[in-house]
């Protein structure tokens, strides 16, 4: 493991020492048994406390797979029909209309959807929802009609028009926030309470929550804004809300990286955790498969709000799919990640992957906006590639 540590340490130190740089990073690797690499470099805030393994991050969309897991548990128990209207479990979704454009005076042009949204479509991001930082239509609704940002974690921020009829195409958006509403409707509990009893406790995940404890607050990394000149500005007052109006299944959790590694290990171990089973092996087997139809394509995410996201895409030119609820790479990635692996990312430039074939997974955590950061994103890919090369060298030795 010496070569693995040296290779990964070099990547972390390099992204924190360069110009431009990242403020700080925590990155970890695990196999099916436990963590095989843990590293931290840089600072939680430029000029501040050093980054450490127990630093707390706003994990943004790496929340999605956890919310998706709570829905899969409902399916296992016969409580959720993925192909029934999601409004049977979350009635508010049934009131939403499709936006077809804007009238000459700027009024949104709305109509009823041709079919009702299902939970399967929500899990696969084919339900019709988007994000304002990836959708010109939602951006205009925000600017001209006061549609709140998802970072407000308000009910109004998810009760938005659909961008297209359900099932028509793939578009990344607030679908998984609605999955959380479905789960709350089924369980009669808050999403956080469901996650705690049914995922976090069986996996021994303690420091992960929608609302931070006082101890977590003292170790929370600051999000930094990347300027056009490559410089970084700490966003000292920008945090996801504690005690939110809606516990957002799409992006609302805070966590340390070691806690997320326990969730990754559950998927490597066919749903089993140290304190109990989270999913059945047969559920895991189908949940990691690409669920999209041929006309539904996962492609580049167009950054329409430059402060929040650049144009971003994993492995351009490679076929990608979406499962329940992860991106799947349908071909081997340049990093060495095999075809059939799963993974995703969070808005503030956190990234993870789960390779069930090889039996490893990793997580890379930084706190930088916009998404697709030109230092952090390549750093993550270098980290993943270094891990595969080091392990291949150990196997050959």
pLDDT number for residue 353: 98
User: Is the pLDDT at 394 greater than 90, yes or no?
Assistant: no
Q: Which of 37, 61, 135, 341 is catalytic?
A: 61
Domain 2-396 has CATH 3.40.710.10: yes
User: Residue 190: CB partners within 8 Å, gap ≥ 6?
Assistant: 184, 247
pLDDT number for residue 348: 98
- Among residues 29, 83, 18, 123, the alpha carbon closest in space to that of 391 is found at 29
pLDDT number for residue 382: 98
Burial class (CB in 10 A: 0-12, 13-18, 19+), 58: buried
* DSSP tally for the chain: helices H, then strands E: 11, 17
User: Is the pLDDT at 189 greater than 90, yes or no?
Assistant: yes
C-beta of residue 186 within 8 angstroms of C-beta of residue 74: yes
Give the separation between CA 341 and CA 355, rounded to whole angstroms: 5
For the segment 160-174, the average pLDDT, to the nearest whole number, is 97
Percent of the chain with pLDDT over 70: 100
pLDDT number for residue 183: 98
User: Is the pLDDT at 225 greater than 90, yes or no?
Assistant: yes
Q: Which of 37, 89, 131, 172 is catalytic?
A: 172
User: Is the pLDDT at 1 greater than 90, yes or no?
Assistant: no
Tokens 């707390």 correspond to what residue? 56
Least confident span in 236-245, 256-265, 314-323, 386-395: 386-395
C-beta of residue 32 within 8 angstroms of C-beta of residue 268: yes
C-beta of residue 45 within 8 angstroms of C-beta of residue 55: no
pLDDT tens-digit readout, 257-309: 999 999 999 999 999 999 999 999 999 999 999 999 999 999 999 999 999 99
Hey, what's the torsion of the CAs at 292, 295, 299, 302, to 10 degrees?
A: -120
For the segment 83-99, the average pLDDT, to the nearest whole number, is 98
376 is catalytic: no
pLDDT number for residue 393: 86
For the segment 162-188, the average pLDDT, to the nearest whole number, is 98
pLDDT number for residue 242: 96
CA Rg value for the chain: 20
pLDDT number for residue 51: 98
Burial class (CB in 10 A: 0-12, 13-18, 19+), 392: exposed
pLDDT number for residue 117: 98
Collapsing DSSP to helix, strand or coil, 378 comes out as helix
Q: Give all strands (DSSP E) within the chain, no chain letters.
A: 24-31, 35-42, 56-58, 98-102, 108-111, 208-209, 224-226, 232-234, 254-256, 272-273, 276-277, 320-322, 327-329, 341-346, 350-355, 360-365, 368-369
51 phi and psi, to 5 degrees? -70, 135
For the segment 129-157, the average pLDDT, to the nearest whole number, is 95
Q: How far is CA 87 from CA 80, 172, 191, in A?
A: 12, 20, 17
Helix axes 2-17, 376-396, angle to 10 degrees: 160
Higher pLDDT, 394 or 120: 120
138 is catalytic: no
User: Is the pLDDT at 211 greater than 90, yes or no?
Assistant: yes
Q: Which of 64, 135, 262, 323 is catalytic?
A: 64
User: Is the pLDDT at 149 greater than 80, yes or no?
Assistant: yes
**In whole numbers, what is the pLDDT of the chain averaged over residues?**
97
Collapsing DSSP to helix, strand or coil, 384 comes out as helix
**How confident is residue 2, by pLDDT bands cut at 50, 70 and 90?**
confident
Collapsing DSSP to helix, strand or coil, 209 comes out as strand
297 is catalytic: no
pLDDT number for residue 14: 98
pLDDT number for residue 390: 92
pLDDT number for residue 395: 81
Give the separation between CA 232 and CA 240, rounded to whole angstroms: 20
DSSP sequence for 245-283: SS--TTT--EEEHHHHHHHHHHHHTTTEETTEESS-HHH
pLDDT number for residue 304: 92
């Amino acid at each position: 493991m010496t070569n693995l540590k040296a290779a990964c340490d070099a990547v972390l130190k390099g992204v924190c020492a360069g110009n431009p740089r990242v403020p700080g990073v925590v990155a970890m690797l695990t196999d099916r048994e436990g963590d095989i690499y843990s590293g931290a470099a840089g600072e939680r805030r430029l000029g501040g406390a050093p980054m450490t393994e127990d630093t707390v991050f706003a994990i943004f969309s790496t929340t999605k797979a956890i919310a998706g897991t709570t829905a899969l548990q409902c399916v296992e128990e016969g409580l959720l029909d993925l192909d029934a209207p999601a409004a049977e479990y979350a009635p508010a979704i049934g009131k939403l209309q499709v936006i077809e454009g804007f009238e000459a005076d700027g009024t949104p042009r709305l109509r009823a959807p041709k079919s009702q949204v299902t939970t399967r479509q929500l899990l696969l991001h084919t339900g019709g929802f988007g994000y304002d930082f990836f959708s010109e239509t939602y951006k205009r609704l925000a600017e001209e009609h006061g549609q709140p940002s998802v970072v407000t974690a308000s009910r109004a921020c998810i009760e938005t028009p659909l961008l297209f009829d359900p099932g028509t195409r793939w578009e990344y958006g607030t679908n998984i926030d609605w999955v959380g509403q479905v789960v709350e409707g089924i369980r009669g509990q808050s999403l956080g309470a469901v996650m705690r009893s049914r995922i976090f406790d069986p996996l021994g995940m303690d420091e992960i929550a929608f609302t931070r404890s006082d101890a977590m607050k003292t170790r929370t990394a600051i999000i930094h804004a990347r300027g056009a000149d490559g410089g970084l500005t700490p966003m000292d007052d920008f945090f996801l809300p504690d005690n939110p109006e809606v516990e957002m299944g799409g992006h609302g959790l805070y966590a340390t990286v070691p806690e997320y590694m326990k969730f990754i290990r559950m998927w490597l171990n066919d749903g089993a955790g140290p304190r109990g089973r989270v999913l059945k092996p047969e559920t895991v087997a189908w949940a990691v498969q690409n669920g999209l139809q041929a006309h539904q394509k996962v492609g580049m995410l167009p950054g329409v709000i430059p402060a929040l996201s650049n144009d971003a895409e994993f492995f351009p030119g490679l076929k990608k799919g979406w499962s329940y609820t992860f991106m799947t790479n349908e071909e081997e990635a340049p990093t060495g990640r095999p075809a059939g692996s799963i993974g995703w990312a969070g808005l503030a430039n956190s990234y993870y992957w789960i390779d069930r074939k090889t039996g490893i997974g990793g997580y890379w955590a930084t706190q930088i906006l916009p998404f697709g950061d030109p230092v952090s994103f390549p750093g993550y890919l270098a980290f993943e590639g270094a891990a595969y090369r080091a392990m291949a060298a150990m196997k050959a030795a």
